[in-house]
């Protein structure tokens, strides 16, 4: 999991450099987050919930979480596997859905990364 944390930190540094701006500060979160309209693949995980990967658009990403736009609803506490493309290849991150908000034609899904050092206060 330490290697995954290092890959996430590396990705955030790449995003920061490519955007040429600092992260958004939000007092509700434990870490900074970046607007990053990248793409990810999302897949349900669990004994009876395996699914085909779904391509989604990422909205924000932080050290501990991200949110994305999805054509389908996900339920709070569902376990997901998020796959991001990085300069070092694919980064697969286990995550838990923290919220689902319906918007025009899509759902905004906030997830928390399921890593040992993830701070629960950094929910989306």
Q: How far is the C-alpha of 2 from the C-alpha of 106, rounded, in Å?
A: 34
Q: Find the mean pLDDT for residues 115-124.
A: 54
Query: What tokens were used for 45?
Result: 């995980």
Query: What tokens were used for 92?
Result: 């697969």
Indicate the average pLDDT of the chain: 81
pTM listed for this prediction: 0.77
Segment 77-113, tens digit of pLDDT: 999 999 998 878 889 999 999 999 998 889 999 999 9
Question: What is the CATH number assigned to the segment(s) 2-122?
Answer: 2.40.10.220
Query: What tokens were used for 14?
Result: 């790449």
> Where along the chain do its domains lie?
2-122
């Amino acid at each position: 999991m330490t290697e995954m944390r290092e890959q996430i930190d590396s990705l955030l540094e790449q995003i920061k450099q490519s955007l040429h701006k600092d992260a958004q500060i939000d007092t509700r979160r434990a870490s900074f987050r970046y607007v990053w309209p990248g793409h990810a693949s999302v897949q349900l995980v669990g004994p009876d919930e395996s699914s085909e990967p779904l391509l989604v658009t990422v909205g924000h990403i932080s050290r501990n979480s991200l949110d994305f736009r999805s054509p389908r609803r996900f339920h709070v506490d569902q376990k997901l596997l998020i796959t991001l493309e990085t300069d070092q290849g694919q980064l697969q991150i286990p995550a838990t859905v923290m919220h689902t908000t319906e918007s025009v034609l899509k759902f905004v899904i906030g997830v928390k990364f399921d890593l040992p050092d993830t701070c629960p206060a950094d929910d989306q």
